[in-house]
Amino acid sequence: MKKQSNLSRLLGYAGGHKYLTYASWILSAVSALMALVPFWYIFQIIKEVLEIAPDFDKAQYMTHNGWMAVVSAILAVLVYVAGLMCSHMAAFRIAANIRKDAMRHIVKLPLGFVEDFGSGKLRKIVNESSAATETYLAHQLPDKAGAIATPIGLLVLLLTFDWRLGLLSLIPVVLGFLIMMSMCGPQMQQKMKEYQNALDDMSNEAVEYIRGIPVVKTFGQTVFSFKRFKGTIDYYSKWAIAYTNDLRLPMLFYTAAINGVFAFLIAATLLFTRNGVTNEFLLNLIFYIIITPVISITLTKIMFQSENAMIVDDALQRIDSVLNLEPLPEADHPVSPKGYDLVLKNVSYSYDGQKNALENISLTIKQGQTTAFVGPSGGGKTTLANLISRFFDPDTGSVSIGGVNIKEISKKELMNTISFVFQNSHLIKASVLENVRIGKPNASRAEIMHALEAAQCMDIIEKLPDGVDTVIGTKGIYLSGGEQQRIAIARVMLKNAPIIILDEATAFADPDNESRVQQAFSALAKDRTVIMIAHRLSTVANADRIYVLKDGSICESGTCQELINQDGIFSKMWNDYRLSVQWKVAKEA
């Protein structure tokens, strides 16, 4: 099957607007030819000046030709602007449709995809790759049509007056074109890909660095403590310098070639005027000196169009890297769970296909039970919760809710069955009311206020300038980590899902906020199945059952007291926790 060209793909997103794209090419080409007309009138002015000099009072057509040159130039600009208006209308529609298509696909992907792909990299692909197509369609393609029309018109003009000077003027054009092709070949395509990869890596690591600023400031570190972020900056710097050095000589020769037409004209003048200078030759020479700078401008446009074509090709490949990701398969005939018991049987999962993050996990969580996952960092706690939520599918084994494999439950019903409160709860730039309403879009104001009250949020609402209608984020107000968690809990309460997953939900809460968050948890857990992931063992002390995970396996399980009585990992963690709670700063004697 023949591969579809990039232009065909882009126009496929345009719908009826693709005819505006075609119109922009025609108008741009017409404008480019019209832009050469003023040179004809300038030639006529120079001709008349040479014929009547020094008696300029005999001039008959000079004013007329001058005004015709001005009118022609203005008409050329107006036609070009009309072409740009057509191209921009089509380009904006195409860029918008690409973003919509990408976002429609992204929402179908498992939530774990964003974590693996990197939110910064994903944002850059959706926003900047589609924006690259807009620049190409709105500016480069119309200019390309004009750049094709201009040489045709120039060739006619160059060969009309003095074919010898015309052919000599084309020599630097050929040299410049050959040098340009050497710079814009397959090697340049690879360099463009490396350039975009370097930008993607910097964008992704910059997002992670910004998220980690609280840690950096707390421990008095600098950007150098984030080696991966600094590494991406260093790599981009080395790449940019090496790339510039590689293109330094070709660009030098290219610039010299396209601007060297005057050297050829001067040499031709010395050769052709050995027996004297005629007015006709002088007239033609002056005309060629005036018009040949258009050649360098046209070639430079073509060079940048070649570069932008490669940028668009790379942008479409990056968009395809998202569109080619397959959503998790959904059952043709979904089944609703009968109850909310959670059962995992022989579950294993690997992120890289080599070392398992989870190894042969089997457990049962009864409906209405509060279960906690604890253990050393990297033990697999969050991965296990992600599999229960179907952020990913296990490599082996099964996860069931109410006796039904979660693969057989529709995506919508599964999302309505499970709610999450993450370590970093994200609030959007909107009012507190709208942030909570995300949990239930058709909720009334009274329902939202009830959820906020149950989540211990009323002290937050009372201190805000516009109460529940106060906007959060840019040009609004900012909340502390613990306050954001309570708003997130209100959102989950409003959703009223039967299964709740709390992933390090008190990690950024101060003691006062933690107390309120714990009260909110108590209200949230009532008559629901709750899974808690926590390092603060005080939050799991009342759990019905605790599972201790280490290196992807369950090594201990039981109630808090049962595990304390055992001489194991949890017992040691509990003793360390109690010591840390009792730790105090000694006063100086």
Among 268, 197, 282, 206, which residue's Cα sits nearest to residue 236? Answer: 197
Q: What is the pLDDT of residue 505?
A: 58
The answer on pLDDT for 92 being more than 70 is yes
Cα Rg of the chain, angstroms? 35
- State phi, psi for 107 to the nearest 5 degrees: -70, -15
Q: What is the pLDDT of residue 15?
A: 81
The encoded tokens of residue 63 equal 């004013």
For the chain, give the mean pLDDT. Answer: 80
pLDDT in tens, 480-509: 777 887 888 888 888 888 998 887 755 555
C-beta atoms surrounding 575 within 10 Å: 11
Contact 185, 250 (CB under 8 A): no
Greater confidence, 57 or 82? 82
The C-alpha atoms of residue 12 and residue 9 are separated, in whole angstroms, by 5
- State phi, psi for 438 to the nearest 5 degrees: -55, -35
Among 7, 179, 54, 204, which residue's Cα sits nearest to residue 125? Answer: 204
The answer on pLDDT for 76 being more than 80 is yes
Out of 240-244, 278-282, 348-352, 585-589, pick the least confident: 585-589
User: Would you call 262 helix, strand, or coil by DSSP?
Assistant: helix
The C-alpha atoms of residue 344 and residue 400 are separated, in whole angstroms, by 6
Contact 359, 531 (CB under 8 A): no
CA atoms within 13 A on the CB side of 186: 0
Q: Mean pLDDT, to the nearest integer, of 163-183? A: 73
Greater confidence, 262 or 456? 456
Q: How confident is the model at residue 1 (pLDDT cuts 50, 70, 90)?
A: very low
CB proximity list for 424: less than 8 A, separation 6 or greater? 211, 508
Greater confidence, 192 or 566? 566
User: Partners of 421 in the beta sheet?
Assistant: 502
The C-alpha atoms of residue 300 and residue 271 are separated, in whole angstroms, by 30
The answer on pLDDT for 587 being more than 60 is no
CA 432 to chain centre: 27
Greater confidence, 78 or 514? 78
Q: How many residues does this entry show for the chain?
A: 589
pTM here? 0.62
The answer on pLDDT for 261 being more than 60 is yes
CB proximity list for 222: less than 8 A, separation 6 or greater? 216
Q: What is the pLDDT of residue 589?
A: 46
- State phi, psi for 444 to the nearest 5 degrees: -80, 165
- State phi, psi for 154 to the nearest 5 degrees: -65, -40
Contact 153, 30 (CB under 8 A): no
Q: What is the pLDDT of residue 10?
A: 83
The answer on pLDDT for 78 being more than 90 is yes
The C-alpha atoms of residue 538 and residue 542 are separated, in whole angstroms, by 8
pLDDT in tens, 273-325: 777 666 677 777 777 777 777 776 776 676 666 666 777 777 888 888 888 88
Q: What is the pLDDT of residue 437?
A: 92
pLDDT in tens, 186-203: 666 677 677 777 777 777
Place of tokens 């019209």: 34
pLDDT in tens, 15-40: 888 889 899 999 999 998 898 888 88
Helix ranges, 438-559 (H): 445-454, 458-463, 481-495, 511-525
CB proximity list for 449: less than 8 A, separation 6 or greater? 468
- State phi, psi for 358 to the nearest 5 degrees: -130, 140
The C-alpha atoms of residue 327 and residue 106 are separated, in whole angstroms, by 9
The answer on pLDDT for 584 being more than 60 is no
Domains in the chain, ordered, with CATH? 6-323 (1.20.1560.10), 342-581 (3.40.50.300)
The C-alpha atoms of residue 281 and residue 269 are separated, in whole angstroms, by 9
DSSP, residue by residue, 69-126? HHHHHHHHHHHHHHHHHHHHHHHHHHHHHHHHHHHHHHTTS-THHHHHH-HHHHHHII
Q: What is the pLDDT of residue 345?
A: 93
CB proximity list for 526: less than 8 A, separation 6 or greater? none
The C-alpha atoms of residue 280 and residue 286 are separated, in whole angstroms, by 10
Out of 66-80, 191-205, 413-427, 529-543, pick the least confident: 191-205
Question: DSSP state, 328?
Answer: P
Give the whole-number percent of the chain exceeding pLDDT 70. 83
Residue type, 420: F
